[in-house]
Amino acid sequence: MALAENKVAKVYVWFVTMLLSCGVVWSQTSAIFACDVGKNPALGGYGFCDKSLGVEERVADLVGRLTLQEKIGNLVNSAVDVSRLGIPRYEWWSEALHGVSNVGPGTRFSNVVPGATSFPMPILVAASFNTSLFETTGRVVSTEARAMHNVGLAGLTYWSPNINIFRDPRWGRGLETSGEDPVLTSKYAAGYVKGLQQTDGGDPNKLKVAACCKHYTAYDVDNWKGVERYTFNAVVTKQDLEDTFQPPFKSCVIDGNVASVMCSYNQVNGKPTCADPDLLKGVVRGQWKLNGYIVSDCDSVEVLYKNQHYTKTPEEAAAKSILAGLDLNCGRFLGQYTEGAVKQGLIDEASINNAVSNNFATLMRLGFFDGDPSKQPYGNLGPKDVCTPANQELAREAARQGIVLLKNSPGSLPLNAKALKSLAVIGPNANATRVMIGNYEGIKISNSYLSFVYAYHAAITI
């Protein structure tokens, strides 16, 4: 290939990845963690701060020390602090669909870490059919997430990946998924989750970061001709559910050992997924043996009460969801109405204990209760490990492997810059910049986005 042709190919691939460049580190903040015995030596006497004990024993010790109100305050994504026990507030909602994102409130960029490596959208990475690539990208994302956590810019729980089946091209969020094939989506789900979660030592009871497979289940509509995701009832046969929609989630839990599953807004055969004990307790935790927590999509519990009118009272909605197997509510609903549900006899405190225990167990596996992160595995990671040249090159390679050439008429590609007299770039995204990075994305840094027009103009002199 001629030099000019090489230049065209390289600029094009660089454009497809839409990488975020990195900036200068100016200052640092500190990580948020529990059991800071350096500041309060008395915390060392608590069982839940004792790293020599097992997770189950530590969680039982912690939950046994909490009031009902404190337990309920840890059933929502913006979990409350328990200052008397040295437990700070924790934000569960962070995103890492194709790189660390600032979409959720648990993660932010600043002059300390102004941007993270942005990989291509999952539908492109999945098109590579390279299972090792799925895992490798997840590993890079989790390293950058840990590095940001160490300077107080990110959490440890990431509500990614989206493993819904892209069954209808009219669904505007299909680019977040791996496509329409349940087998490929299952492979992508397990691989990306392993990359995010697995520690260097390979201990299945430890987590590098906690992933979350969403949106469970039969979910592929937002708003189409008056049908909204908040009230949509997916009528699905048992065979279609088992053959099409469930395999990615099953693989995510069993093969990927994911730490979380997110239930969706919609109903499946007349039942809201977040209040369906068969789908949650029966399948996810019972049949598939989830080792982690089940979280609602944001405000899903409120939606099943207010929009779907599935229950008569908000307290009933809170109770039904927890009893069905929900552990964490993205939103405030459980924080507002669970205590009332207890007082009305709709749910007992033991059920709340079970839910909050699943949440705390996840944080235990992440090392959140092990004290200062700088003295733990990955404690040496920092801004220098985010958006490195090697990580950016991996993003480019992911784009190279995922690009699918549908047609190449004889003599068309690769382009010959010397032979071109004119070049037209046609289509609604011909001169698009920011939109091409996709959604659930990281932050834009400097002038890092290229349009197709700009990319070709920079590569070819006509």
- Averaged pLDDT of the chain: 91
pLDDT at residue 111 tops 60: yes
Catalytic residues: 297
Q: Higher-confidence residue: 301 or 228?
A: 301
**Confidence at residue 5, expressed as pLDDT on a 0 to 100 scale:** 37
Q: pLDDT tens digit string along 152-169?
A: 999 999 999 999 999 888
CA distance 197 to 77: 20
**Confidence at residue 446, expressed as pLDDT on a 0 to 100 scale:** 55
Q: How confident is the model at residue 447 (pLDDT cuts 50, 70, 90)?
A: low
**Confidence at residue 8, expressed as pLDDT on a 0 to 100 scale:** 37
pLDDT at residue 23 tops 70: no
Percentage above 90 pLDDT, the chain: 77
**Confidence at residue 403, expressed as pLDDT on a 0 to 100 scale:** 92
- Entry pTM: 0.92
**Confidence at residue 445, expressed as pLDDT on a 0 to 100 scale:** 61
Sign of CA dihedral 265, 270, 276, 282: negative
**Confidence at residue 461, expressed as pLDDT on a 0 to 100 scale:** 64
69 burial (CB, 10 Å; 0-12 / 13-18 / 19+) is: exposed
Integer angstrom CA distances of residue 7 from 3, 16, 401, 458: 6, 14, 18, 9
Among 20-34, 152-166, 404-418, where is mean pLDDT lowest?
20-34
pLDDT at residue 432 tops 60: yes
